[in-house]
Amino acid sequence: MVTKAYIGTTNKAKVEACKIVLKDYDVIPLKSDSQVSNQPKSDEETMLGAYNRAKNLPKDGIRIGLEAGVTFHNDKLFLINWGVLIDEDDNVYYAGGTRIELPDFVKEGIFNEDKELAEIMSETYHDKDIHLNQGAIGIFTENQVERVDIFIHIVKLLYGQYLHAIRREK
C-alpha cells in the first residue's frame, strides 16, 4: 500500500529531499502558504512558517512543511532551516537543521535593504535559480553541502521521530 506524503511547497530541492527520504510514499508537492514573511528572521518565525505549510495540507497522509530563514546569535547572522511533520492523528514533530554564518553583505541586504536571501544571492552571483538549486549553503560551502542535503537531513529527523512514535505505540 502506497501512503501519501504531502509537502507544502513545489520547490525542487525540498521536494527532492522528501522523495529521497520517503521512498515508500507517494510524495505530493502542493503550494502552501507559510503565513510568515517572505524572509523569516528568527527561529520562531521560521518554525511557524514550516508548521503553517504542513497544517494547511490535506489530512489523508503525513504532512511536511520545510522553511528556510535567518536568525541572529551574538550579533552574527545565520542561515537556518526548520521542518515540521504532522501525522494523520495530528501529532506534530519538529526538526531544525544546519546553521552557517552569513557574510555581512547578506546581513546588510536583509536588514538595511529589506531583501530576501534568495534575491541577494541571485544579484550577487548572477543566478536567479540559486534558491532552487544549491542555495546559499552551496555557494558558501563551495558545494560541499547543497540545499537538498540540508532538507534531506531535516526530513530524516522528522520521519525518524514519526517512526519512533509509531514503534512506541505498538
Question: In order along the chain (170 residues), what is the average pLDDT of each group of 10 residues?
Answer: 88 96 97 96 98 97 97 95 97 95 95 92 87 86 94 98 90
Rg (CA), the chain: 16
pLDDT computed for residue 131 by the predictor: 76
Q: Tell me, what's the pLDDT at 170?
A: 73
Residue 116 and residue 39 in contact, taking contact as beta carbons nearer than 8 Å: yes
Give all domains of the chain, ordered by start, each with its CATH number: 3-169 (3.90.950.10)
Looking at every residue in the chain, the average pLDDT score rounds to 94
Q: pLDDT value at position 2?
A: 56
Residue the block writes with cell 552569513? 102
Query: At how many degrees (to 10) do helices 117-125 and 104-111 cross?
Result: 130
Burial letters 134-169, b for 16+ CB under 10 A, else e = bbbbbbbeeeebbbbbbbbbbbbbbbebbeeeeeee
pLDDT of residue 69: 96
Tens digits of residue pLDDT in 68-113: 999 999 999 999 999 999 999 999 999 998 999 999 999 999 999 9
